[in-house]
Every structure is written in structure tokens, then in C-alpha cells.
Amino acid sequence: MNKKGILIVVSGFSGAGKGTLIKELLRRYPKKYALSVSATTRKPREGEQEGREYFFKTQEEFEKMIAKEELIEYAGYVNHYYGTPRAYVEQKLEEGKDVILEIEIQGAMHVREKFPDAVLLFVTPPTASELQRRLVDRGTETPEVIASRLQRAAEEAEGMAQYDYLVVNDQLEACVEEMHHILQGEHRKSFRNHRFMEKVKEELQQLKGE
């Protein structure tokens, strides 16, 4: 069956728990999944390691990567570039790992254009009021920040239907397994298994000739 990895995009509301979900998925199935490491022009913060949190680039280096199409997608935020280097992703896919990109909807749509076989997941809590409750329960956000997060969520919600799957993060344990099952199921799609089908066909032709 399909040995090559699948490119996986994970988006979702801020507060939906997608970071925790991805971290737990990688912890449980380290041989199956890899997390894409982004490139950025911002300076490393204390404790951040080259190639672990980010690939740190100068603006000139980053713009060269853009020009040479070495990035799957990129965007500028507050004077800095962030992007997904193609080489790392393709290397992991070749190794047979599913590579997870945690990006926002604009990036997700670019990935789909360039990689039509990518699988797009949108992480959501079971209800919007649960999202609000989680943002409030953090206890670190001002009412203004919570309001702006909900405003942003309302915008992001308009894009949900563009994703292949909705992952409802109610109980973390169950949700990690569900995500794993969705992704393993994707490996069984017939369009991802042309080589397997050709082999079965050839072998049947030989057997019936015997």
C-alpha cells in the first residue's frame, strides 16, 4: 500500500487546541508523522534552536528562497516573513512520514493548489460557546483580546467548508485517535495506491495465464 507520506494541513480556531493535538499525535506516532519546520526572518528567541523551532534566515536569504520557489507557502507578518520550506517537507514525505503544516487558511489554500493530494483538517471545539469558555478559562487574556479572538474565529469559520475534514476537539484523547484514524484512512484511498493496483493487476494476468 501507499508508502509515501501525505501532506497534512491543520488549521483551526485559536483556542481549539490544535497545538496540543498535534504535539500529542507526534508523541504517540513518531514514526508516522513529522512536523514541518517553518523558515522565518525574525531573530531566534532564547532557547530556540535552528531547525527545531524555525530555520532562521536573513531577509535576503528568505527572498532568495521565494524567488527560487523553495517555499510551499509564505506570508509576511509584522515586518517578518514566515514560510514553509519545500525541501524539508519533501524529504520527510519521501521517508514515508505524513508531514503536518500548522498554518492559516490563506496558506492552506495555497498548499491545496500546489499539492492537490494534501489533506486539510480544521480543528474546532464542539460549540462556539465552548471556544469562548476556553479563551476565558486561560485567565491570561483581557476581555478585549477575547473579543478580538472571537471576531477572528467568526471570520475563520467562513472558510471551514474549504477543508476536507472537521476535527471536533472535545476530549483530547479521543480526538487524537480520531485524527490518526482519519489520516490512516487517507492512506487507503485508491488514488494514493496506483502502484499497488498495478501490481495486483499484473499478478492476476500472470496467474490466469498459468
Contacts with a copy of itself, residue ranges (CB under 8 A): 1, 122, 124, 127-129, 131-132, 147, 150-151, 153-154, 157-158, 160-168, 178, 181-182, 184-186, 188-191, 193-194, 196-197, 199-201, 203-208
Q: Least distance (Å) from a copy of itself to the CB of residue 23?
A: 20
Q: Least distance (Å) from a copy of itself to the CB of residue 62?
A: 33
CB neighbours of 190 closer than 8 A, spacing ≥ 6? 197
Q: Least distance (Å) from a copy of itself to the CB of residue 205?
A: 6
83 to 45, 54, 55, 130: CA distances (angstroms): 18, 10, 10, 31
Query: 163, 181, 143, 160: which is closest to 13 by C-alpha?
Result: 160
| 59: exposed, middle or buried (Cβ count in 10 Å: 0-12, 13-18, 19+) | exposed
Residue number with CB closer to a copy of itself (71 or 153) = 153
For the CA atoms of 186, 16, 170, 163, what is the dihedral angle to 10 degrees? -30
Residue number with CB closer to a copy of itself (65 or 153) = 153
- Per the CB < 8 A criterion, the answer to whether 37 and 54 are in contact is yes
Residue number with CB closer to a copy of itself (78 or 161) = 161
Q: Least distance (Å) from a copy of itself to the CB of residue 194?
A: 8
Q: Least distance (Å) from a copy of itself to the CB of residue 40?
A: 30
Residue number with CB closer to a copy of itself (75 or 168) = 168
